[in-house]
Structure 1
Amino acid sequence: MAEGGGRAGPGPAGPNLKEWLREQFCDRPLERCEDTRLHDAAYVGDLPTLRSLLQEESYRSRINEKSVWCCGWLPCTPLRIAATAGHGDCVDFLIRKGAEVDLVDVKGQTALYVAVVNGHLESAQILLEAGADPNGSRHHRSTPVYHASRVGRADILKALIRYGADVDVNHHLTPDVQPPFSRRLTSLVVCPLYISAAYHNLQCFRLLLQAGANPDFNCNGPVNTQGFYRGSPGCVMDAVLRHGCEAAFVSLLVEFGANLNLVKWESLGPESRGRRKVDPEALQVFKEARSVPRTLLSLCRVAVRRALGKYRLHLIPSLPLPDPIKKFLLYEQNSRAVVDCSEEEAICRASRHRFLPL
């Protein structure tokens, strides 16, 4: 909690912890914290009790109250508690009764974030449908997308992407601050694409790329590779090879237009680099990709997707193009199927992005 004794009075440890939490973080008035029935009902998923309590104005006025409650949790709202426990019916009821979906707890975590962390897809979907920010809170260093990518919850990641979650990361302290006053990317560890590869979550890795994640740095902000931690990967492809990921990861990065020249190793071999050994098949795929020019179809697909931008990729199905080409642009169909519908027409139409919707 407090750092370096910066607060006056007794420290937060010991028998006075609950009182200290109340003093620092609870909503006022403090005496109301003694009545935790609303929060307790949310914790155990007691929907009838929630219905009964919220018939009273005194409880309706406290629906967004952060309280230290009997189970010893940090101060948080009934919605945050219900989302953590995965009681979807209670989450839905609290929202309909006026609970604010994006209130944060003392750690800067939203109800959506804790629902994702605890693997509760239903609660996450209810919160997203109610307008919860799919990116969580700027006051918390992690995001729902990052956590879902790390643990391999592709189903939750799909829901987050469907509701507009950012699949990259932005390291500006504020949106209006420009370099050199902004914080720069100094490690790929914070990137969802990197973490999905580090934990070998191939399905999440592919979903992020399909949703427009940057295949090189997975970052919106400025990148200073010279400032990267010594010995750390210099780009996502470098990370994929270092972590011993299978060839499918390399193939996906190649398909999605990764810059293969960013990998600085002069000689790539199966010897150990870091904690894992390079996968020989993945290494072979990488070497072949770097030695052979990419096809015109592949270049066109990457160019069209970049022209659209990641926030408009979901509009591809509405484009006046043949279905095989639309599926090709979405990486739902291979190039052979597109060539079958006329290679010349595919290249011409896919490259003519002047009519792409704004």
Structure 2
Amino acid sequence: MAEGGGRAGPGPAGPNLKEWLREQFCDHPLEHCEDTRLHDAAYVGDLQTLRSLLQEESYRSRINEKSVWCCGWLPCTPLRIAATAGHGNCVDFLIRKGAEVDLVDVKGQTALYVAVVNGHLESAQILLEAGADPNGSRHHRSTPVYHASRVGRADILKALIRYGADVDVNHHLTPDVRPPFSRRLTSLVVCPLYISAAYHNLQCFKLLLQAGANPDFNCNGPVNTQGLSRGSPGCVMDAVLRHGCEAAFVSLLVEFGANLSLVRWESSGPESRGRRKVDPEALQVFKEARSVPRTLLNLCRVAVRRALGKYRLHLIPSLPLPDPIKKFLLYEQNSRAVVDCSEEEAICRASRHRLLPL
């Protein structure tokens, strides 16, 4: 379970659990970690002290040591402490001196995760540039993307997406029965797209969709729909309506190809079963979208993006296509701008780039 990869799984619970946690997550027993000057300096952002201490080999060898420092109770590395406090200069210095970026604490949290949770964009960017896993740790149920989507930190979310974070769901929670600590998903709550809508964070909602988040998540995996509680929303669109989200949320889902037939008409009445009322304008947008066929142009865009897959969408700017079409595929330009580019011109350009047979 620990980051080293060679340690055994969890030992017996009860009286031995504390000892097991020490063994798994501390390089030395806690009583041997009396000198916490390195950790204390990281906590207060004292870069000068860090520079001075790490000139000595004894401290350089302890740079990844997990210890309970004077201001904390959780055994953490200096890097994790500096990231929590948002001392970007200390984070950068510790990494350059050999701190491992993806070590986890006893909660399974990485330095990147705690930087995101505490809203420290600079520290998060430094960690990402140093190779930190943008998805966090498989030992923790949440992810940096999920938290940024929940609290509406679009700036942090952009950085995570730029470094390849999974925008759909915590990729460590799978329906697979192995390893033992995996469990089947039974709720939309685990989905970043859902949580951004539940907290009405429209900018994050759009960023996730642009990055390839599945607008029909919960209907084609990996959630176990058999385990959904009665009355739970069946898909993202259903959840958006139930949570009283504004019409812009519905419009985005329609634009990004959500399957509108997944929402039952009886679940989209004037009042939701929860505490909020369905937004009348949002409901009207949904009904109109459901009653009118989608344009061929938008259907083509959705089809192309799905064929590429979310992990290759970032390659669209490098495709041999006219700029208006590339911007259209990235949702940076509307349909009208693409239509304004004459069909003959588009065909000629595509032919020159060997996209169409002459």
Counterpart-to-counterpart distance in 1, 2:39 and 2:282: 51
SS at 1:147 equivalent = helix
Greater mean deviation of Cα atoms: 94-103 or 210-219: 210-219
Aligned CA distance change for structure 1 residues 140 and 116 (closer, same or farther; 3 Å): same
Does the 8 Å CA contact 1:108/1:140 hold for their aligned counterparts? yes
Aligned CA distance change for structure 1 residues 8 and 203 (closer, same or farther; 3 Å): closer
Does the 8 Å CA contact 2:3/2:103 hold for their aligned counterparts? no
TM-score, normalisation: structure 1: 0.87
Q: CA deviation at 1:42?
A: 0.1
1:337 matched to 2:337: yes
Does the 8 Å CA contact 2:110/2:137 hold for their aligned counterparts? yes
Post-superposition, which runs of at least 4 consecutive aligned residues in structure 1 deviate over 4 A?
Answer: 1-25, 170-183, 218-221, 343-358
Per-residue CA distance 1:76-105 (angstroms, 9 max, x = gap)? 100000000000000000000000000000
Aligned CA distance change for structure 1 residues 173 and 122 (closer, same or farther; 3 Å): closer
Q: CA deviation at 1:222?
A: 2.9
Aligned CA distance change for structure 1 residues 178 and 255 (closer, same or farther; 3 Å): farther
Per-residue CA distance 1:246-285 (angstroms, 9 max, x = gap)? 0000000000000000002336332242111000000000
Aligned CA distance change for structure 1 residues 13 and 246 (closer, same or farther; 3 Å): same
TM-score, normalisation: structure 2: 0.87
Counterpart-to-counterpart distance in 1, 2:247 and 2:162: 28
Aligned CA distance change for structure 1 residues 152 and 33 (closer, same or farther; 3 Å): same
Does the 8 Å CA contact 2:175/2:185 hold for their aligned counterparts? no
Counterpart-to-counterpart distance in 2, 1:9 and 1:175: 20
Counterpart-to-counterpart distance in 2, 1:247 and 1:159: 27
Q: CA deviation at 1:120?
A: 0.1
SS at 1:266 equivalent = helix
Per-residue CA distance 1:36-91 (angstroms, 9 max, x = gap)? 00000000000000000000000000000000111132001000000000000000
Q: CA deviation at 1:231?
A: 1.1
SS at 1:34 equivalent = coil
1:164 matched to 2:181: no
Can you give the 5+ residue segments of structure 1 that lack an aligned partner in the other structure?
none
Counterpart-to-counterpart distance in 2, 1:130 and 1:288: 48
Aligned CA distance change for structure 1 residues 23 and 257 (closer, same or farther; 3 Å): closer
Aligned CA distance change for structure 1 residues 133 and 284 (closer, same or farther; 3 Å): same
Does the 8 Å CA contact 2:43/2:82 hold for their aligned counterparts? yes
Counterpart-to-counterpart distance in 2, 1:222 and 1:255: 23
Per-residue CA distance 1:149-184 (angstroms, 9 max, x = gap)? 000000000000000000012567569879999844
What is the CA RMSD across the aligned residues, in angstroms?
Answer: 5.1
SS at 2:320 equivalent = coil
Does the 8 Å CA contact 1:300/1:347 hold for their aligned counterparts? no
Greater mean deviation of Cα atoms: 224-233 or 148-157: 224-233
| Matched residue count | 358
Q: Counterparts in 2 of 1:263-302, with a 5 A limit?
A: 263-266=263-266, 268-302=268-302
Q: CA deviation at 1:148?
A: 0.1
